[in-house]
Amino acid sequence: MKNGILILSLFLSTQLNAQENSKSIEINTKGYFVDGIFRLISSPTINWAKNNREIGIGPTFLLASVVAASSNQYPRLVGLQAHYRYFPNGNNNQLNLFLFEEITLQVINDTWETNEWNYTLSKYQAFEYTNREYLGLSNLGYGIILRLSEKISVSQSIGIGVYYSKSDSNEKTPGAPELFNEDQNINGYKDFGLTYGLNFVIQFKL
């Protein structure tokens, strides 16, 4: 906590640098925890920077998730991501610090499987269900961007925020037992809660 306050004070006490307008594209890969459950997504985004501020927007691809049953379907297009970055020390040095706000909206179609005992066959029988999840995340955080060359830079950042999630499951396998109401909104976690994660970015200046 003390370290956080120290860093924030240093950000704010540093003089800002004026910069030019610029445009860049980046590959943003992030792993984050939603209520303790890990997800890995990647977003190619296009960014516009002016002075010491930057905004970006792009699609998101889900690379992996520990929740989903059908991991062979990855990577998949799942939604949109938008971010805003603020560089208190400017964005022209070799190493720059930034604060960010990031919003990610995702619709994740998935399948999951149950194994239920069939008393007639005396064995477990698998049934598939579909699941459509609507997930929104809003993260605040800070990070470091390292300029490798005039055109290429990499960054790492950490963020913390809130999420909202809602899902809808239905039977896929013919004859699958009907889901109860409480099983239709099954996320593996609560509908609303805290999220945190790490971002790794490689950025190309246009």
Taking contact as CB under 8 A, which single stretch among the options 10-18, 43-51, 52-60, 79-87 is the one that binds other proteins? Answer: 10-18
Query: Is-contact 78 106, C-beta < 8 A?
Result: yes
Can you tell me the distance from the alpha carbon of 16 to that of 88, in angstroms, rounded to the nearest whole number?
6
Pick the closer one to other proteins by CB: 157 or 203. 157
- Closest approach of other proteins to the CB of residue 117, in Å: 5
- What is the token pair recorded at 18? 């004026």
Instruction: Please name every residue paired with 82 in a beta bridge, in sequence order, or none if there are none.
Output: 57, 103
- Listed in sequence order, the DSSP H helices in 14-156 are none
Per-residue x/- mask for other proteins, residues 25 to 64, rule CB under 8 A? -----------xx---------------------------
**Residue reference for tokens 């800070």:** 142
Query: Is-contact 85 102, C-beta < 8 A?
Result: no
- Closest approach of other proteins to the CB of residue 171, in Å: 12
Residue 113 lies near other proteins (rule: CB under 8 A):
yes
Helical (H) or strand (E) element with 182: helix 181-184
Give the binding site for other proteins (CB under 8 A).
3, 6-7, 10-11, 14, 36-37, 67-69, 89, 95, 97, 110, 112-117, 119, 122-124, 131, 142-144, 156-158, 182-183, 186-189, 198
